[in-house]
Amino acid sequence: MKISESSSIHPTVVIEGEVEIGPSVEIGPFCLIKGPVKIGERSILASHCVIQGPVEIGKNNRINPHCIIGTEPESRGQQSSGKIRIGDGNILTEQSVITHGTTPEGTQVGNHNYFLSNVHISHDCVLGNNITVAHNVVLGGNVLIQDGATIGIAAAIHQNSTIGAYSMIGMNSVVTKDVPPFALVLGNPIKFKKWNSYQMEKLGMAEFPSGELYEQYLSEFHSISKRDILHIPEE
C-alpha cells in the first residue's frame, strides 16, 4: 500500500490489497477500495464509492457519490480480464457504473469525459476523449465511442456498436446500427436526422463534414466498426 501524505482520506474508508493513492487525492466517507488500484493526483472520490481492481484512475478526476467501478463483467460465463483504465479529467456523477472487461484490453475510458447520473458502461467498452453521456444511458458490452460524441438522456446502445466522433444520439434512442462521425440520429430504431452542425461549426466545417480531421475519424470508424452502419441519405 502506497498512500501520499498529502492525500485526504476519511477515517471510515476501507482500503484492502495493493493500493496506490497519489498526491492531493480526496476520498470521502464510507468508500471501499480493493486493490490492485491506482488513483492519480488530485482525483476526488465522494462518499460511498466502490472501486474494485485491477483499476487505474488518472489525475484530476471527480467521482461523485455511490459510483461503482470494477464489478464483474455482465456477460454470462465470462471471467474478469484486463484492467479498467480511466484517464485524466473525467467526471462521473451519481450512481454511475463501469464494469470489468473479458479480454486483456479490459474496459477503457479516455480523458475529459462527462458522465451524468446513472450511466452504465458495460464490459470491454472503449471510450475516447471529450465525450458527454447524459442521465440513464446504457452502453452494452464492447461498445466503442470515438472522441467528442454526445449521447442523450436514456439512450440504449446495443452491444458491439460503434459511435462515431462528434456524433449526437437523441434522448430515448435505441442504437442497433453503427453511427458515422458527425451524424445526428434519434428514434427507436435510430434514423439519421441531420449532420451535427453544432460540432461542425466549432471545428470550422461547412454544410457537410470534411477536412483532414474528418477523414481521420472516418477512416478509424470504418476500421473498428463491427455492425451494420446506419444509412446516410444522399443530399
Q: How far apart are CA 65 and CA 191, in angstroms?
A: 35
60: left (phi over 0), alpha (psi -120 to 50) or beta: left
DSSP state of 82: S
Looking at residue 91, its amino acid is: I
Q: What angle do CA 66, 69, 75 make, to 5 degrees?
A: 120
- For the annotated catalytic residues, the residue numbers are 123-124, 141
Q: How far apart are CA 166 and CA 194, in angstroms?
A: 13
Q: Quick count: other Cβ atoms within 10 Å of Cβ 213?
A: 16
Q: How far apart are CA 120 and CA 39, in angstroms?
A: 21
Q: 169: exposed, middle or buried (C-beta count within 10 Å: 0-12, 13-18, 19+)?
A: buried
97 within 8 A of 79, measured Cβ to Cβ: no
